[in-house]
Amino acid sequence: MVDVILGLQWGDEGKGKVVDYFASHYDIVARFQGGPNAGHTIYVNDKKIVLHQVPSGIFKPHSQNLIGNGVVLDAVSLKEECEAIASFGVDFRKSLLISDRTHLILPTHKALDKASELSKGNEKIGSTLKGIGPAYMDKTGRNGLRVGDIRNKNFVSNYIRLRLKHQKLLDNFSFNEDISAEEEKFFEALEFMRSLEIVSGEYFINDALSKGKKILAEGAQGSMLDIDFGTFPYVTSSTTIASGVCNGLGIAPNKIGTVTGVTKAYCTRVGGGPFPTELHDEDGELIRKKGNEFGATTGRPRRCGWIDLVALDYACMINGVSQLVMTKADVLDDLPVLKVCESYKIGGKETRQVPFQMDKLTIDPVYKSFKGWTSDISQINDYKKLPPEMLSYIDYINKKLGVQVKFISNGPGTEQLISAS
Ligand code: GDP
Ligand code: IMO
Ligand code: MG
């Protein structure tokens, strides 16, 4: 079976940490979508590393790590990431595999991302500018170059052809930054990539499944950033939800096992777009400070707000979430009052559904208030020892969502995860 760990909000839920915690129970960890827009933080021997494209199982001695076909891959960023991993004494060459069907992010994709965002003015998406959208556009437009193509003799001429096409688009945007230095780095990085293990990801995964191996699919971004079901157009360009595992790895739907949804005890978003429970007061500031809510990839401050059960309920529905992990519960330690959004008021009407175009509506969240626990929970490792106020906060969320919080994360350390059973 392929178990899945994915984010239920707008990303940065702590997926990297959760994958790191569970990875030792799996033979293979696989990324199925997204690219270097992701930033998954883990601690290895108390030293922090942020993974962007390499699956978070890379530090487990026994695990193989696959970058699946659904990912868009930046060779330059991959090379840098592999060098960072090697500095931890890990031989990534033994345990990292890349699907030959994975599409490449080209230097011009990054330029196009920038040009597109600039052209949008105030309505910009707030992209990480890693070239994600343009690379997926070339995939669906049937123009993109794939990892397997770098083995072909005509790769450079195909690259130049696509580059010329991109140049015309960049001219239309009146965008004329010199990217020759980046191109040089790109070709160097392709040389590096040729030395890695490139496989037919779909055969690799299905063969492993038939041998009874355990596979963990690691989601990137969050369900509310999904291209179809997120807060479009303020989304990323991939299928971030559980169904993306099938496309992004080449496995059948009946091979999906447990879907673990990761949610923060509150909510954050980085970049533009609607965020009904966003806080613009000192509570929001306190959460940002205590939670160190700054983007792992771009360093941008994350917008912070209360947990949103309307959006979470929606995310549980579209993902078929089997169990929840609640992260960053310790960040709420100092707040005397906590709020949970249980419905939206739109035009005087109350609803528990995520509307079609959130960004075009004025949404007033309807809150239920809870007494905070106002004590340090970061050293607790037994569920029964958690403060009663916290247990009633979780109990309420369990009941509202009809899905159980099975683990509570109370700190960034890998072992700071409390089982509720
Ligand atoms: P991801 O993209 O979902 O993997 O999440 P990020 O790594 O972008 O952001 C999560 C941040 O929260 C990282 O800095 C983690 O080290 C940190 N983190 C994860 N879980 C917890 C937790 O339970 N408590 C606290 N205080 N920090 C956490
Ligand atoms: P992880 O995996 C948080 C956001 C960007 C922007 C929008 C589109 O670490 O949770 P893109 O670069 O994809 O064109 O950006 O999506 N975004 C993320 N926000 N965590 C991420 O990844 C994100 N990846 C993209 O901020 O609003
Ligand atoms: Mg992140």
pLDDT digits (tens, 9 = 90+) for 7-34: 999 999 999 999 999 999 999 999 999 9
Q: Is 40 part of the annotated catalytic residue set?
A: yes
Among 18, 37, 367, smallest CA distance to 216 is for 18
Selection from 393, 10, 411, 61 nearest residue 231 by Cα: 10
Helix (H) / strand (E) element for 338: namely strand 337-346
- Given 3, 40, 109, 330, which residue is catalytic? 40
Q: Whose CA is nearest to atom 2 of ligand 1?
A: 12
Residues 6+ apart with CB under 8 A from 87: none
Task: State the Cα–Cα distance between residues 64 and 216, nearest whole angstrom.
Answer: 10
Rounded to a whole number of angstroms, the CA Rg of the chain reads 21
Protein residue closest via CA to atom 10 of ligand 1: 14
Single pTM value for the model:
0.98
Ligand 3 center–CA 226 separation, angstroms: 15
Number of C-beta neighbours around residue 294 at 10 A: 13
49 lines ligand 1 (CB under 6 A): no
Walking along the chain (421 residues) 10 residues at a time, the average pLDDT comes out as 98 98 97 98 96 98 97 98 97 97 98 97 95 98 98 96 97 94 98 97 98 98 98 98 98 98 98 97 96 88 97 98 98 98 97 96 97 97 97 97 98 96 84
pLDDT for 298 equals 83
Distance CA 309, CA 343 (A): 7
- pLDDT for residue 421: 84
* pLDDT value of position 79: 98
Spacing, Cα 136 to ligand 1 middle (Å): 27
Distance, first Cα to last Cα, the chain: 23
Angle at 142 between CA 131 and CA 357, to 5 degrees: 60
42 lines ligand 2 (CB under 6 A): no
The single-letter DSSP state of residue 105 is: P
Determine whether the shortest distance from the Cβ of 55 to ligand 1 is under 6 A: no
d(CA 60, CA 49): 14
Q: Which of 12, 138, 283, 330 is catalytic?
A: 12
Give the ligand whose atoms come closest to the C-alpha of residue 35. 2
Ligand nearest to C-alpha 43: 1
Does any ligand 2 atom lie closer than 6 A to the CB of residue 133? yes
Instruction: Report the atom number in ligand 2 closest to the C-alpha of 238.
Output: 13
Is 166 part of the annotated catalytic residue set?
A: no
Q: Whose CA is nearest to atom 28 of ligand 1?
A: 412
- Distance (Å, whole) CA 359 – CA 354: 11
> In the prediction, which pLDDT does 295 show?
85
Write down the residue that tokens 């960023």 correspond to.
77
Q: Within 10 A of 361 (CB to CB), how many other CB atoms are there?
A: 14
Parallel/antiparallel/unpaired status of strands 215-218 and 2-7: parallel
Domains of the chain, earliest start first: 2-101+198-260 (3.40.440.10), 103-193 (1.10.300.10), 262-419 (3.90.170.10)
